[in-house]
Structure 1
Amino acid sequence: MDLSNIIFILLSLLVSVNCIMWNLEPNSRKCLREELQQNIPVIGEFEVSEAPGQSVDYLVTDSKGHTLAKRQGITKGKFSFNTESFDTYEICFISQVPQNLRGISQEVSLVTKHGVETKNYDTYGEAAQLKPIEKELKRLEDLSEAIVQDFAIMRKREEEMRDTNESTNSRVLYFSIFSMCCLLALATWQVLYLRTYFKAKKLIE
């Protein structure tokens, strides 16, 4: 195995592909949240087990409550959207069961992809008339760029956290100095007050 294949495998492991499966109880709501950067394409593929008389809806929203995708009475399908800003996005699956039914749990499976993984390189390769190795190199290039961008974002966040930490430490230091000055002033006032009091009572000269 040459170096390019090893690098490709390592980069592929870093691609964000999430697959999850759970049981959705009757008349319940299950939500998944993820923090994403701006202008990131997201696609999802879901499948819900059937249950007579029951239905499941899905809803995709951001932290401001804006609806990005929704559908009622789902069984199997896909959804897609682009992130408008750096935000936390939520995908919810909602069980709907009539009151006259007892209801049973339904199995829900969800696969989500975002960023580079949403691109169809087979279609791109055919349109650009690329050879298989050229298609893989293009995929590798996009993965590398995505990882570099992720590291840049992580570095920026680390700098912001460090600045916040330094600012907090400075404020704590100033507050500690102020507190010590207040305590010293209070102790001095107490000593002077007690000295005056004892002199007035002629307990000391």
Structure 2
Amino acid sequence: MFHLLPNAQKCLSDEIHKNVFVSGEYGIQEIPNQKVNVQVIDTKGHYLFQKVDAPEKGKFAFTTEDYDVFQVCFISQVPPNMAAHAKKHQIELLMKHGVEAKKYDNLAEASKLKPLELELKRLEDLSESITRAFQYMRKREEEMRDTNESTNSRVLYFSLFSMCCLLGLATWQVLYLRKYFKAKKLIE
């Protein structure tokens, strides 16, 4: 729950993986002569849901095509002649994705599942979701480890190159100064 100031926009973001079902419910405090628009947008600017002058309560749902960051935006619009008397909207938002968003009651009716079978199906989906999350984390860990190892080897090679340059420069400096001092007859 949050408050939306008059003629303001507030967006909430969430990172969601590929092929995940997302559902949301919102509630908007109704204030006369003030409108609130609701939008769900991805980072590419595609509108997955858009409602102009949204009703007091509403729902939205979509399935993600790619791993992306999605924004749910609430935009308050107050006519200029009403701006002096405008009030804050109270907004409630409940978003669910993955296993949380699945409607198991509908599945039970369609498949004629017993309550215990329905709970087992829910637990199976939950365990698959956890397994996918761990696989994703393992993949990210491998990518980060590879990046870390690559960076370490580059630092090592750069350090060796720097040391060789410094040794070469020191040798050149000693030889040059020896030659200079011999020319000035300060050393033999």
Do the structures match in fold with TM over 0.5? yes
* Equivalent position of 1:173 in the other structure: 156
Please point out which of 30, 41, 59 is paired with 2:39.
59
* Equivalent position of 1:33 in the other structure: 13
From the superposition, tell whether residues 202 and 115 of structure 1 become closer, same or farther in structure 2 (CA, over 3 Å): same
Structural mapping, 1:47-196, within 5 Å: 47-74=27-54, 75-100=56-81, 101-102=83-84, 103-196=86-179
SS, match of residue 23 in structure 1: strand
SS, match of residue 73 in structure 2: strand
Per-residue deviation, residues 9-65 of structure 1 (Å, max 9, x unmatched): xxxxxxxxxxxx111112222111111111111010001112232211122111222
- The unaligned stretches of length 5 or more in structure 1 are 1-20
After TM superposition, the runs of 4+ consecutive aligned structure 1 residues lying more than 4 A away are none
- What is the Cα deviation at residue 201 of structure 1? 2.0
1:36 aligned partner, one-letter code: I
1:114 aligned partner, one-letter code: H
1:139 aligned partner, one-letter code: R
Identity %: 62
- The unaligned stretches of length 5 or more in structure 2 are none
- State the alpha-carbon separation in 2 of the partners of residues 173 and 105 from structure 1: 58
- State the alpha-carbon separation in 2 of the partners of residues 60 and 76 from structure 1: 16
- State the alpha-carbon separation in 2 of the partners of residues 154 and 84 from structure 1: 20
- State the alpha-carbon separation in 2 of the partners of residues 201 and 68 from structure 1: 83
SS, match of residue 164 in structure 2: helix
How many equivalent residue pairs? 185
- State the alpha-carbon separation in 2 of the partners of residues 175 and 66 from structure 1: 44
SS, match of residue 18 in structure 2: coil
- State the alpha-carbon separation in 2 of the partners of residues 93 and 133 from structure 1: 40
* Equivalent position of 1:15 in the other structure: none
- What is the Cα deviation at residue 154 of structure 1? 1.0
- State the alpha-carbon separation in 2 of the partners of residues 177 and 150 from structure 1: 41
